[in-house]
A and B are shown apart, each in its own frame.
Chain A
Amino acid sequence: MSRAEDRARAANARTGWLLSAPALAILTVAAAGPLLIVLVYSFLTPGRYGNVVWDVSLDGWIGVLFTRDIFDGTLRLAEAHLAIFWRSVWLSLMTTAITFLVGFPTAWFIATRPADRRAVWLFLITIPFWTNLLIRTFAINEVIRNDGILNSLLIGAGLIQAPIRILYTDTAVLIGMAYVYLPLMVLPLYAAIDRFDMRLLEAGYDLYAGRLGVLRRVILPLVRPGIVAGSILVFVPSLGAYVTPRVLGGGKNMMIGNFIELQFGQGRNWPLGAALSILLLAIVMAALLVYVRATTDRGRDHG
């Protein structure tokens, strides 16, 4: 390679880095860098009134799964913590399943509209997506509370005598999360279905496949990358949810996000909170790796 080419290359890279530098600086200071501090804090000792004492300790990490007996100092499995992890994972999986079951027909419906109307339907899905999460959660609160619209309607119709208590239960959190994260499922599913060659359906029917056969053997395998993408995009924020379980779950039905906050508030156990944050981050990163691999597979199939 000639020296002129080398120099042009170096100049190109230098310009690229220089132009990106201000953004990288802000992100390092206020997004990526602080994560390292969290990692450090997870190995320190909790201070009496919150914060930390700079003594290295593994107690933060041990505390994720175990509690120490106050009398004899023996370790016991912390069942309350396990219950919170289980609730987080279970509710996130259920949210993913529900959003897929209703999101797939919705995405299909949008993708099969005439081209000029598709943008409008998509826009209708996008508005709630960009609308304040707090407002949407609050709207659900108004629907499902004891004196809310749902109960009023059911009582008015004579279907039930007393209001059904939904608010401050796991069901409320589930309804809320499915509601707020649904657009995250519909959008990637739509993108996958939009790319799908509809002539394959006719081929399927011509070969005497029934509707279910075409759905199972033709459609679902081909839109799989969209299904994976949508599932990850719903699962990841569900697992880290904070606002929805706080507003709809009340104080008792905590998920990991609320449990982390508790450690930095009343719990006064910052190292445990830091360890939980790193754990959550690790799970999310693992899920995103699955996502990246699934989406690159698609590229290989087509290329």
Chain B
Amino acid sequence: MADRAFAATRIPGFATVAVAVFAVLYLPILTLVAYSFNANNSIADWGGLSLQWYATAWENEAVKEATVRSLVIAAVASAIATAVATMAALGTTRRARFRGQTFIYVMINQPLMVPEIVTAVALLILFGVVRQALRGMGVVDLGLTYLILAHSAFCIPFAYLPIRARLEGMDLSLETAAADLYATPWRAFRRVTLPILAPGIMAGAMLAFVISLDDVVITEFVKSGGQDTLPTYMLGQMRRAITPEVNAISTALLLLTVILLTAFFLLTRKRG
């Protein structure tokens, strides 16, 4: 019967289109990766294998600074976002519905709904006002605080969703058992809930990290002079003549993303 159902699901041409789609989806990315190893000085002509563009990027102070800045922002923002998202997920799942729960959902998912350019402009205005007020009070520079705050906010839904999914699949009876065995609520949380929840938290943190690392639009509007992250540095480079150096940076960033996503995939995979 399974065989018959399979035959009926065949629609002529669909498989061809699908294979073509996968090819078109990956060819540009693979080309970009290939040309990052190009020995030639241009991104059009192939001149043999070389790591020179990685060396160029590695020696470029601006690239180094932007990389460190990107990683610092992504690490701090994803840690903050994951911490508050875990709390929010614990507050909004596995309990009786309460007034305002829908409001909390909407607020948490808000960054997924509002176009990035609108949030970017909103933060440009807000932080402009704050900067001016602080300057008036004699506080000069808050450094990366603005970027970290902005990134923490839009990372929250990405951290929240996998954690909530994990919580919803969890068995309440385990914690009840812990309570029956005289565990205090805090002890039950630390010894029972948290270890089971851990893969969800890790998955949420990774998504948040990737999302922060990839952000262009909001960072471009919020950053002050000399605060380029890797993506905004690349965007700036694209205005000028593009060198394969950008390919090398892209490839490195791509590799990091794929590693994190594979880990995410393995963490959230259903067992059994």
List chain A positions with a Cβ less than 8 A from chain B: 9, 12-13, 15-20, 22-24, 26-35, 37-38, 41, 51, 102-103, 105-106, 108-110, 112, 119, 123-128, 130-136, 138-143, 145, 147-149, 152, 179, 182, 198-199, 201-202, 205, 211, 215, 236-237, 239-240, 242-243, 246-247, 256-257, 260-261, 264, 270, 273-274, 277-278, 280-281, 284-285, 288
Structural contact, A37 and B122, CB atoms closer than 8 A:
yes
Residues in chain B near residue A147, CB distance under 8 A? 42, 44
**A-binding residues in B (CB < 8 A):** 4-6, 8-15, 17-22, 24-29, 31-32, 35, 42-44, 80-81, 83-85, 87-88, 90-92, 95-96, 98-101, 104, 107-108, 110-111, 113-126, 128-129, 149-150, 152-154, 156, 160, 207, 210, 213-214, 216-217, 221, 231, 234-235, 238, 242, 246-247, 250, 253-254, 257-258, 261, 265, 269
- Contact: A140 with B28, CB < 8 Å? yes
Chain B residues near A278 (CB-CB < 8 A): 118
Question: Which of chain B's residues has its CB closest to A35's CB?
Answer: B122
Q: How far is the CB of B126 from chain A (nearest CB, A)?
A: 4
Instruction: For the complex of A and B, list the 9 residue pairs with the smallest distance between their C-beta atoms, beginning with the closest.
Output: A19-B91, A240-B115, A109-B18, A34-B122, A13-B98, A139-B28, A30-B153, A105-B17, A105-B14
Most buried by A among B96, B108, B119, B269: B119
Contact B114 A35 (CB under 8 A): yes
- Whether the Cβ atoms of A128 and B121 lie closer than 8 Å is no
Residue in contact with A284 in the complex, picked from B80, B114, B235, CB distance below 8 Å: B114
Could you tell me the dominant secondary structure of chain B's interface residues?
Answer: helix
Please give, as numbers and ranges, the residues of chain A lying within 8 Å of B123 by CB-CB distance.
Answer: 30, 34
Check if B125 sits within 8 Å of A34, measured CB to CB: yes
Chain A residues, Cβ within 8 Å of B101: 16
- CB pair B118 A202 closer than 8 Å: no
In the complex, the chain A residue whose C-beta lies closest to that of B128 is A51
> In the assembly, what is the distance between CA of A34 and CA of B221, in Å?
14
Q: How far is the CA of A199 from the CA of B9 in the complex (A)?
A: 9
What is the minimal beta-carbon distance from A118 to any residue of chain B, in angstroms? 12
Contact (Cβ within 8 A) A142 B87: no
Contact at B265–A123, with CB atoms within 8 Å? yes
> Which of A15, A128, A179, A239 interacts with B115 by CB under 8 Å?
A239
Q: Contact check, B92 vs A16: say whether CB atoms are below 8 A apart.
A: yes
Residues of chain B within 8 A (CB-CB) of A109 are 14-15, 17-19
A23 touches B100 (CB 8 A): no
Nearest A residue to B210, CB-CB: A130
Q: Are the C-beta atoms of B14 and A148 separated by less than 8 Å?
A: no
User: Considering residues B115, B153, B242, B269, which has the most beta carbons from chain A within 10 angstroms of its beta carbon?
Assistant: B115
A134 touches B234 (CB 8 A): yes
Q: Is A22 touching B87 in the complex (CB atoms < 8 A)?
A: yes
Beyond the given pairs A131-B29, A201-B9, 16 more chain A to chain B contacts, judged by CB atoms under 8 angstroms and listed by A's residue number, are: A18-B91, A26-B84, A26-B149, A27-B107, A30-B126, A31-B110, A33-B126, A106-B17, A124-B25, A134-B234, A139-B250, A142-B31, A143-B28, A179-B25, A261-B221, A281-B114
- Known contacts being A108-B18, A152-B44, is A27 close to B110, with CB within 8 Å? yes
Instruction: Identify the closest chain B residue to A278 (Cβ).
Output: B118
